Amino acid sequence: MKPDDFKLLPLVSEKSTKHKEGGEYTFLVSPLARKDQIRTAVEKLFNVTVKGVRTGKVRGKTKRIGRSIVKKSDFKKVHVKLGEKDKIDLFEGEGKAEKPKRKKKKEKETK
């Protein structure tokens, strides 16, 4: 598997945002991807130096839909530690995103 063959999906959560301040970024990748492939893919895509890569497999959850049981697919979670001056612009958002405001439903007039 070449580094171009799998996707690096950024994982944005409360925990990964805290790790980002320490220079560690979190991605979701294919379970078949290896650490050396992930390292070269991140260095190529974002033009940064990678100090370390930690991986962990996450098993897909099983859910019931009616009578049938459906299993979500397994994935691999990757924590990538970058050099001190390196940053990935994909994760660096300015300010907080605001939720769009909902319009209130008009009450029906009673006759």
The residue ranges of every structural domain in the chain are 3-82
Tell me: domain 3-82, CATH 3.30.465.10, correct? Answer: no
Answering whether pTM is above 0.85, one says: no
One digit per residue, the tens of pLDDT, for the chain of length 111 reads 666 677 888 988 899 889 888 889 999 999 999 999 999 999 998 999 999 999 999 999 999 999 999 999 999 999 999 988 888 877 665 555 555 666 666 666 666
Q: What is the gyration radius of the CA atoms in the chain, in angstroms?
A: 20
